[in-house]
A and B are shown apart, each in its own frame.
Chain A
Amino acid sequence: MKNETVRAARIDDADRRGGWDPDVDARLAALESPVRDVLGPALEELSDAERITIVPDAHYPFHPSSGMVTDPAVVGAIVARLEDRTDAEIAVAGATDDRIDFDRAAEYLGYPDLLERFDATLVDLADEPRTGGLSGVEDEPVALSVPTRLAEDAVVVVPSLRPTADGPVAGAMRTLAALVDCDAGADRAPVAVTRSVEPTLAVLDATVAYGGDPIAADALFAGSAPAVDAVATSLLGRSLEADPVLSATRRTDDPVTVDGAGVDVDRLRGRISDGALPPSDDPHPAVTTAYRLYAAVAGDAVPPQLEGGR
């Protein structure tokens, strides 16, 4: 029954116009107090760490105001707090995948400039040594190849508040799983990875939430990865029971307790839509089939976009 309390803090940026402040210094300043509040007791667990690796959602260089990635300013504010309160070496990590090099995504998102303010380094886990291991899901062994840094360091995951293309929230566990080689499938790999890595803390960046449209939610939530993902799932209007990753990792069916002044979770849930990511650029197979049939009958050309992967 441990770790089912999540700490929350509201972000107040009285000088901000509109839902987004493009000035990263202003965002860092506005985040200082809420980051201090949500990290709170977790700093004790991190105080003895020699190295801390922070894992944000930086899967692709979408603009942070869309809610599709973690705002680098949130990461910067966490780094600042950890540097202030620990002696640990701090790294911000992601991994190159078949979509984009992590260095490139991080550069476009502004991480190199941001981290120059601190002693933290930027790490592409695709270039790091890996450690093989076994984890278990539903009493079955699952093989993993985990970046050694994630296996050995204290890990803080900082997911964005958005859905995945498949529907469930991106969350801390799926964000972490994206950096680990594991063939157990979308429902089991995040469970196996979370059990193997055992992240010390998850901090949900709900400064901007994306539930079909972005909305300035102006909140942070921190706690265990499953508890934070449960809060994210609830905020995005999804069923906790319908998410197999949550079902496998939560230690209780009781609601998560959200502890923090200034954050009205029910009101926030009402403001955030429960929608999905935009549809894929690939047209529906029925559309491509119909267009090709039409083109064959009419003698028209088929646009490349409607070739249906041919």
Chain B
Amino acid sequence: MTPPLLNRWTDSSTLSLGILGVGNIGMVHLKSAAAMPSVEVVAAADAVPGNRERAERAGVSRTYDDYTTLLSAEDVDAAVVALPPFLHADAVERAAEAGVDVFVEKPLARSTEEADRLLETAREGDIAVGVDHTLRYQPDMQGVKAAYDEGSVGHVPYASITRLNDGPLGRPPAEDAPASWPLDADAAGGGSLLELGVHCFDVLEWLFGDLEVRDASMGRSLETDVEDAATVLMAAPETGTTITLHCGSYQWEQLPEVNTRLRLEGVTGTISNDDYLPGNFYADAAKSALSNVASRFTSDEPDVFGPTFYLQAHYDALADFCDAIREGERPPVDGEAGRRTLALAERAYELAAAEAGETDGEANETDAGADDRGTPEVTR
């Protein structure tokens, strides 16, 4: 049996966390936080009894069926908001009332308008906002950035990123009832572009600086309320790079295979994230596991989620947030970064809608920057 990893640190510098939402990703955050030095998960909240029971089995001593009750009853330093997007703004508002810093799952909000209200509430409550954009924490993406920053292929006129998975409907055999909110435009704010594309926008901005959306197209392979495919054409003026982004939740995914492809086409060659992924996932996982076992005997901290690099990225993102809170610094991926990804997504929706004749040509095709708050409402 794995012993609970909680309460490893109890000195006064310990950061106390509450986890709001302990579904799949919330449990990853809970387990990440529980394994962090100087972090203590003191409580978790979830409306689903089974999720609360999982949190309790993971060592959380107090659970609540309502995140507002947790925030009013517990004295926590920070909260992880791993709730569906339609609850993010309310959860941040409650956290601001309690003076609790927040680490919010992506997308930060369902729209820039909602994000602005959320960030204003956070400012008024003097709380920090971090966003869980994890691609930039993956070792393959960090390998690409290091090679790019070293100038290893010279000027990069073109880059492409693709992120595909099977979304809420999954793949055969059909086993569990799919959640309804990810396919509900009102609840999620959008489809694949808000679920996956925002991660891509974040990593592209991290690589190339400010981005400008030039064109976009949305697609649906089934009759769903939201898109399950998005393609976006962008420019990065600072680096003179043209970029295409394609994301979709239409492709069956078989973990540990993850279909995330980033290619930078430079003058002297190509930088690909494939070059920085383990050649054999299982061999690499075994190597990492052996290293962690050895660290037990050398009194080193284990590399948490070491055998699974995409979960390790979530650990690193939350750890960075916790470090920043502890040091009184701005989170490295903050609310403004999360808002910028929403602005890019909204611009893409506008252009796609205009292309499809769904608006009256209101979308300004000249040069709407990513941060243009005056862009018209889009009918999707």
A interface residues, Cβ below 8 angstroms from B = 22, 59-63, 66, 68, 98-100, 104, 107-110, 113, 165, 277-281, 291-292, 294-305, 307, 310
Is B28 an interface residue when CB atoms closer than 8 A count as contact?
A: yes
Q: Say which one of B116-124, B133-141, B165-173, B232-240 lies at the interface with A.
A: B165-173
Residues of A within 8 A of B311 (CB): 303
Docked pose: A299 CA to B178 CA in angstroms:
33
**Whole-angstrom distance between the Cβ of B56 and the nearest chain A Cβ:** 11
Closest to A106 in B: B223
Question: Chain A interface mostly helix, strand, loop or mixed?
Answer: loop
Docked pose: A297 CA to B311 CA in angstroms:
19
Docked pose: A109 CA to B5 CA in angstroms:
45
Q: A63-B221, A296-B3, A299-B302 are in contact. List 8 more A-B contacts (CB 8 A).
A: A107-B223, A281-B170, A299-B292, A299-B296, A299-B301, A300-B35, A300-B292, A303-B28
Task: Give the interface centre of A104, A108, A113 by most chain B CB atoms within 10 Å.
Answer: A108
Is B308 an interface residue when CB atoms closer than 8 A count as contact?
A: yes
Residues of B within 8 A of A107 (CB): 223
Is B293 an interface residue when CB atoms closer than 8 A count as contact?
A: yes
Residues of B within 8 A of A304 (CB): 24, 27-28, 31, 54
Docked pose: A171 CA to B311 CA in angstroms:
40
Complex contact B177–A99 (CB within 8 A) = yes
Question: Chain B interface mostly helix, strand, loop or mixed?
Answer: loop
**Whole-angstrom distance between the Cβ of B169 and the nearest chain A Cβ:** 6
Knowing A281-B170, A294-B289, A304-B54 are in contact, say whether A299-B177 is a contact too (CB < 8 A): no
Complex contact A278–B171 (CB within 8 A) = yes
Partner of A278, one of B3, B24, B172, B304: B172
- Top 4 A-B pairs ranked by shortest CB distance? A60-B174, A298-B292, A304-B27, A165-B173
Residues of B within 8 A of A60 (CB): 169, 172, 174
Partner of B57, one of A109, A280, A301, A310: A310
Closest to A101 in B: B177
Is B254 an interface residue when CB atoms closer than 8 A count as contact?
A: yes
Residues of B within 8 A of A108 (CB): 169, 183, 222-224
Closest to A291 in B: B307
Complex contact A303–B5 (CB within 8 A) = no
Complex contact B222–A297 (CB within 8 A) = no
Complex contact B221–A297 (CB within 8 A) = no
Complex contact B296–A301 (CB within 8 A) = no
Docked pose: A165 CA to B174 CA in angstroms:
9
Partner of B175, one of A22, A99, A300: A99
Q: Contact string, B35-65, partner A, CB cutoff 8 A, digits 1/0?
A: 1000000000000000000100100000000
Residues of B within 8 A of A303 (CB): 28, 31, 305, 308, 311
Complex contact A278–B28 (CB within 8 A) = no
Complex contact B296–A59 (CB within 8 A) = no
Is B112 an interface residue when CB atoms closer than 8 A count as contact?
A: no
Residues of B within 8 A of A68 (CB): 172
Complex contact B169–A297 (CB within 8 A) = no
Is B150 an interface residue when CB atoms closer than 8 A count as contact?
A: no
